[in-house]
Amino acid sequence: MPDLTDKIQPGLKHEREWTVADSMLYSPGGDPSRATLSSPSMINEMETTAMLGLDYLLPNGGFTVGFHVDIKHVAPAPPGARMKTTAKLLELSGSRFRFHVEAHDLD
């Protein structure tokens, strides 16, 4: 991969707003009245936010993939909740990018 430091610098930030869809839910014990945003779906939205903030700066044919995730899922988000995800690039090392990503309920 070519040197990207002329185009991509730490501090690069991307934000997305999205809504918790039924396909993103986990129902503890199978009880639909307790349905909430699943951690895998939250991680998917976090990775998507980081990817969208970076992919347009990569060389033609370049793309990103996640390889390490360390999360805390501290509060439930119900079906239909409006969410905001923010990804900030902390470090660029060769072809590796390290982000700090947060997801928050806007309701």
81-102 pLDDT, tens digit each: 999 999 999 998 877 899 999 9
Which pLDDT score is estimated for 16? Answer: 98
Helix, coil or strand: residue 39: helix
Question: What are the tens digits of pLDDT across the range 42-75?
Answer: 999 999 999 999 988 888 888 888 788 999 989 9
Which pLDDT score is estimated for 94? Answer: 79
Rama region for 29: left / alpha / beta (φ>0; ψ in -120 to 50; rest)? left
Whole-structure pTM value: 0.88
Looking at domain 13-105, its CATH class is alpha beta
And the tokens for 106?
């806007």
**Residues 107, 104: Cα–Cα separation, whole Å:** 9
Which pLDDT score is estimated for 75? Answer: 93
Residue 72 CA: distances (Å) to CA of 1, 40, 64, 89, 104: 32, 12, 23, 19, 12
**Residues 86, 53: Cα–Cα separation, whole Å:** 10
Which pLDDT score is estimated for 106? Answer: 96
**Domain residue ranges of the chain, discontinuous segments joined by +:** 13-105
Residue 1, pLDDT > 60, answer no
